[in-house]
Amino acid sequence: MQDKQSTLFDSYVYRCILTNEWESSEREVVEFYNQRGASERTFDMQNNDFGWKHLPFSFMKENTVFMTLTALIRNLYVWLVGKIAANKAFGLEATSRVKKFVFRFVQVPFRWVFRSRQWHLQLFTSRPYDRLRL
């Protein structure tokens, strides 16, 4: 037999935030803490999509250049996917990961065709790459 108190507390998840911030209100502290999720998603993307999980060198001094360049590449990638996501025909959202970007945008079957004394790129896709403007 369950008592009323145990059923009352079983349906809720209780969390607490310990802080020494006395100037902010409770709501401001919670909103500041919730911003942490965005930075964790950024590091998750860097770890899994841009190779930070398995760094190429043994020492951090040597890996600093690699990490800086991949962070710059990530910023360029986020900008590019944001521009492509505006065109709904490619099936990408602004938050799409690298794997989805590669399968939807980069891997396109094609062949070079020689006609009218010129080489033309023939794409085998229904996506409108000709209308894409960055």
pLDDT of residue 4: 60
Q: Considering just the CA atoms, what is the radius of gyration of the chain in Å? A: 24
pLDDT of residue 9: 59
Tokens 């009352």 correspond to 8
Tokens found for residue 68: 């800086």
pLDDT digits (tens, 9 = 90+) for 72-108: 999 999 999 988 888 777 788 888 889 888 888 788 8
CB 84 within 8 A of CB 56: no
Which residues, including other chains, have CB under 8 Å from residue 80's CB and lie 6 or more apart?
134
List the chain domain ranges.
4-131
User: Is the overall model pTM greater than 0.95, yes or no?
Assistant: no
Segments in the chain below pLDDT 70:
1-10, 132-134
pLDDT of residue 85: 83
